[in-house]
Structure 1
Amino acid sequence: MAVDKKHLSMGLTLLISFIGVLILIFAPIYGEGLNGLEYSDELFNKLAKGSAYFIPKVTKDIEKFKGKPFDVTIDVKKATDKPGEGEKRAENVKKLYTTNGAQVEVNGTKVHITGDFAAILLAALEDSQQMYNNNGDYIKNKYGVTDDDKMKQMFRQWHNSLSAISKKFTLEKKVNESNIIKTVLTKAIEPAYNFYGIEAEKVSEKAGVLTGLLAFYVLYTVWYGFGMLYLFEGLGFSTKKAKVKKEV
């Protein structure tokens, strides 16, 4: 193999500079002591939260169910429950719904709920709005819990109970009711819970930074690729097809 000093030098220069930039990326010099990956991850989480706000639209979708009563029995037991966990969850579901005006009876892990369908969904949206705004104290005060873990546990009961109710309504051929519950779950409750503690930002307000990060990602990938390409060419490795020798 013949060494190509020119390409070898170019490859080493690109790879050494690539490593230098990589060291800077992992240095805690971005934002408030974050490294580059943490900073970009935090930014994308903020932008994702800003793009996942649908509560006002879902509120309008619920209006057509105003005054509609519902009567359902669900089992909140989970296969992974330890002794007593299902019963505790049932009591939390009871507290959640009675606080929001429904009538609830508990028998072990089975929960019988009656009330105004739209009123319950609107209550779930209000709690979701407060969670989306990172106002955990609202949930604590409303349900009489004292710490963040219990607050999140209480809010999770919206997801546990409404998921079970949606499945029950599907079996009962109540398609419209099941679908609106799924909308509340995916467009309000899940984003509010998953993004709790993160400040929302709009993509339009961070368009420059976002474009710069994406452009850098592409450039940095190509940078490494050409570095490796020139390094191997400099060492005599090539992907070119060998010339066929003609017989004399």
Structure 2
Amino acid sequence: MVANKKALSMGMILLVSFAGVFFLIMMPIFGNGMTGLDYSDDLFNKLSKGSSYFIPDVKAQIKDFEGKQAKAAVKFKSEDEAKHSLAVMAKAGFSAAQAGETLNVDVDLGKMLSKVVDDADAMYHDDGAKVGAFYGLDKDAEGKLAMKAWWTLLAGMIKPLQKEKQIPMANAVNLVNQKAIEPAYNFYGIKAESILDKIPAASGLLIFYVVYTMWYGFAIFEIFNGIGLSMSKSKIKKEV
């Protein structure tokens, strides 16, 4: 079965060393009991948060909607969900009429979006206690339930506004959801880091990933070559 002992030996050495490095990666030796995967995941989450602070730009874009009324019939999945969003609106000083699973919203869009963005800013900077205390909802010490309620309300406003040909308003609502609430909610509790401060670590991980992938590829290639399984260009038969 062995066609090339040298190639087979090289392949086995590469595969065994690959497995050894993988074993080290999975050990909790990378600080604070983290494995290599935990460390890399934590680093890139911090870098992602550091590059996802769009709130100043969002604040500038929603200024045009101050004093403009937005009317929309927002349908929720359940009456409880509608009631939850209504409670959040009421705490922030806005009102809506509930009819079952629907909230009939009539608000100063710029004022409401400004409040939501301010809350998102606090959440982005991990001050969820401030948001949670303001809304005073049960089991919402970190403000995440309030932010989820705002996201659900705003998401439900987009299509009704579009149907009413209020495209700029719909776009502003969507902007706040995507660029303010989502980064603040998803990265809550994660420390933001700048890529400029982590260039050596980030570059090292990316280079290691490429090298480690090729390492495994060459191991398999040499093993297959050693047992006589290889790819080569077939010879072209010439007709006599």
TM over 0.5: yes
Structure 1 partner of 2:209: 217
What's the offset of the Cα at 1:20? 0.6
Q: Deviations over 1:120-170 (max 9, x none)?
A: 000110111111112221121111124348842221111111111111110
Name the CA distance, whole Å, in 1 between partners of 2:218 and 2:164.
61
Specify the SS of the correspondent of 1:114: strand
Q: How do 1:75-154 and structure 2 match up within 5 A?
A: 75-76=75-76, 78=77, 86-148=78-140, 151-154=143-146
Q: 1:6 to 1:122 in 2, by over 3 A?
A: same
Specify the SS of the correspondent of 1:197: coil
Letter in 2 for 1:207: I
Q: 2:153 aligns with which of 144, 151, 161?
A: 161
What's the offset of the Cα at 1:244? 8.6
Name the CA distance, whole Å, in 1 between partners of 2:142 and 2:130.
13
Q: How many pairs were matched up?
A: 238
Contact kept in structure 1, 2:96 and 2:104, CA below 8 Å: yes
Letter in 2 for 1:7: A
What's the offset of the Cα at 1:241? 4.7
Structure 2 partner of 1:171: 163
Cα-Cα RMSD: 2.1
Structure 1 partner of 2:199: 207
Identity of aligned residues (%): 41
Name the CA distance, whole Å, in 1 between partners of 2:106 and 2:234.
79
Contact kept in structure 2, 1:140 and 1:146, CA below 8 Å: no
Name the CA distance, whole Å, in 2 between partners of 1:169 and 1:150.
31
Q: Deviations over 1:161-181 (max 9, x none)?
A: 111111111000001101111
Name the CA distance, whole Å, in 2 between partners of 1:196 and 1:104.
29
Name the CA distance, whole Å, in 2 between partners of 1:109 and 1:185.
21
Name the CA distance, whole Å, in 2 between partners of 1:107 and 1:150.
29
Structure 2: where are the runs of 5+ without partners?
none
Name the CA distance, whole Å, in 2 between partners of 1:150 and 1:14.
49
Name the CA distance, whole Å, in 2 between partners of 1:136 and 1:147.
12
Name the CA distance, whole Å, in 2 between partners of 1:93 and 1:146.
14
Structure 1: where are the runs of 5+ without partners?
79-85
Name the CA distance, whole Å, in 2 between partners of 1:66 and 1:101.
15
**TM-score, length basis structure 1:** 0.89
What's the offset of the Cα at 1:102? 1.6
What's the offset of the Cα at 1:219? 0.5
**TM-score, length basis structure 2:** 0.91
Is 1:58 the equivalent of 2:71? Answer: no
Say which is worse superposed, 4-13 or 216-225, in terms of deviation: 4-13
Specify the SS of the correspondent of 1:105: strand
Specify the SS of the correspondent of 2:198: helix
Name the CA distance, whole Å, in 1 between partners of 2:92 and 2:18.
57
Q: 1:236 to 1:53 in 2, by over 3 A?
A: same
What's the offset of the Cα at 1:230? 1.5
Q: 1:105 to 1:238 in 2, by over 3 A?
A: closer
Is 1:240 the equivalent of 2:235? Answer: no
Is 1:32 the equivalent of 2:32? Answer: yes
Name the CA distance, whole Å, in 1 between partners of 2:75 and 2:237.
79
